[in-house]
Chain A
Amino acid sequence: MLVTAVLSGLVLGGTYALLAMGLTLQYGIARIMNLAYGELIIVAAFLSYALFTYAGISPVWALLIALPGGFVLGYAIYGLLMAPLVRRARNAASLEIDSILTTFGLLFVIQGLLLVTFGANFTSYSYLNDAVQIFGTRLAANRLLALVLAVVLGAAIYLVLTRTLWGTALRAVAVAPGSAPLVGIDVERAARMAFALGGALAAAGGVVISMYQTFTATSGVVFTMKALIIVIMGGVGNILGALSAGLLLGLAETMVATYVDPGLTLATTYGLFLAVLLWRPTGLFGRAVR
């Protein structure tokens, strides 16, 4: 039972980590608190569902559409809605308020469109739903694939951010936006790229989630909240922090659901969050980079 719980926890945690990495890019580098983040996840989940159910296209292919699709959508949202706010913002606080209000509105626009198109029902599809034998226990193949995809994507984005000059420049903007122009980094361009990259990760996360979870047109906000909690636990803008905190939360939720009571998962999430805020208010992994 322990092995099963750990594996399920890693699947959930890997997905959370993927989602949180996207949000930490948007919040930490582009400095946009995107409340519509979860809606992008759900759009991708429905895309994956529709492609599989109506066209028989595998979610792995859906991922290849969702990644660039999420990037373009993120790029467009930043360029059309966020850039004007950034330009007129007098300081970081006023940008935060403006972006929260704007993305709060965007949340309902996207949610409304989803409700009109797909209805309010619980949605899921059955892809690779056979159990496979692993470490002496049985795990649905779709969950295993979800874990593999989360690990591959997470590792890829981590390597891009830490091993390339472009990624280092993005992190530099997260660390000290005021100093970035001194080395010739165009901060607005970096913000747009980070926001778009966050959109790509949200969409990828949505496809991965849809492979093993039920979702509705209105469940985006739950994912936004969880991703936000993980981002704050890991330290805003901290990629490795988002990764570790995401895995930790997934494991904790699954352990509590398995050994205590499934009804306590949300309580666990917020309990852990409170503990981190009280014990290390800037996140588990050093300073919150803001």
Chain B
Amino acid sequence: MLEVKGLSLHYGRHVALDKVSLKVGKAETVVILGANGAGKSSLLKSIAGLVHGDPGARISFNGVPIQTASPHHVLETGIALVPEGRGIFGDLTVAENLALGAYARRARDQREAGFELVFSLFPRLAERRRQFVNTMSGGEQQMVAIGRALMSRPELLMLDEPSLGLAPVVVGELFRSLDRIRQTGLSLLIVEQNVGMSLAIADRGYLAEAGRITGEGPAPELLNDPAVKRAFLGATA
């Protein structure tokens, strides 16, 4: 479904990504683990078309090459990104944010169905549809961000550090929502520092370090891998 091959990215002389390759299958949930500065955000941004990697890379989605595509083109192929910091429109209402989620041509005539799906996943958003997003709590804003991404009817949903800055109770709620989204048949690609929670809902995981992929494996194996435990779980558990 999603295939990334030999993706490198430079910001000036700083190497953000060094020949990264990865795959996400249909209805598969994949998590990328790594410390800050490991290039995880750059990877998601490159896939979304917000930045473009060095020539020679290949990114394809359902067989369609997208390594040079613009962000709205990538969205039309069925990939949606919930960026770090959420990227929602704070001065607009919940309903307006969600409606804009269905701005993509692939989703425009399915807007009502999209609203139904999002409101069934996040009933609280239905109650607050007229509220301005910047007056909501962090957890609610994250719901808006995820809901808005779902409105574009993606086949692959990418999330960059969705639990960042949220209270532990809210993080639990967030991952339960992601698990429900996963069960609807969507593919998920998640970048997370919360290793335990994300591996618990993932099928597979990659380890990223200094712009490179240094390891990969099935989620249950990674969860019990002493190296992973040392590197990540010690700090968070």
Q: Which residues of A contact B (CB under 8 A)?
A: 165, 168-169, 171-172, 175-176, 178-179, 181-186, 286-287, 289
Contacts and interface: CB of A to CB of B under 8 A. Distances in A.
A179 B148 CA distance: 12
Contacts of B103: 165, 169, 183-185
A186 B76 CA distance: 12
Given A168-B99, A168-B100, A184 B92 contact: no
Contacts of A168: 92, 96, 99-100
A171 B72 contact: no
B30 interface: no
Max chain B Cβ within 10 angstroms of own Cβ: one of A171, A181, A183: A183
13 contacts: A171-B92, A175-B89, A179-B89, A181-B50, A182-B71, A182-B75, A182-B80, A183-B100, A184-B71, A184-B76, A184-B105, A184-B152, A287-B91
B71 A181 contact: yes
A184 B96 contact: no
Given A184-B152, A185-B72, A178 B87 contact: yes
A182 B70 CA distance: 10
Max chain A Cβ within 10 angstroms of own Cβ: one of B71, B75, B91, B96: B91
Nearest to A181: B71
B108 to A, nearest CB: 8
A179 B87 contact: yes
B4 interface: no
B126 interface: no
Nearest to A172: B89
Which range contains the number of B residues in contact with the other chain?
Answer: 20 to 34
A282 to B, nearest CB: 12
Contacts of A171: 89, 91-92, 96
Contacts of A289: 91
Contacts of A175: 89-92
A186 B92 CA distance: 18
B189 interface: no
Max chain A Cβ within 10 angstroms of own Cβ: one of B70, B72, B89: B89
Interface in B62-87: 70-72, 75-76, 80-81, 83, 87
A168 B89 CA distance: 11
Contacts of A185: 72, 100, 103
A169 B102 CA distance: 11
Nearest to A166: B103
Given A169-B100, A172-B100, A182 B90 contact: no
Q: Which 3 residue pairs are nearest across A and B when measured between Cβ atoms?
A: A181-B71, A179-B87, A184-B72
B88 interface: yes
A186 B71 CA distance: 8
Max chain B Cβ within 10 angstroms of own Cβ: one of A175, A184, A286, A287: A184
Given A165-B103, A168-B100, A169-B100, A186 B72 contact: yes
Max chain B Cβ within 10 angstroms of own Cβ: one of A179, A181, A182: A182
B121 to A, nearest CB: 18
A286 B71 CA distance: 31
B22 interface: no
Contact of A182 (B81, B91, B105): B81
A172 B92 contact: yes
B7 to A, nearest CB: 19
A168 B99 CA distance: 9
B48 interface: yes
A183 B104 contact: yes
A182 B104 contact: no
Contacts of A287: 91
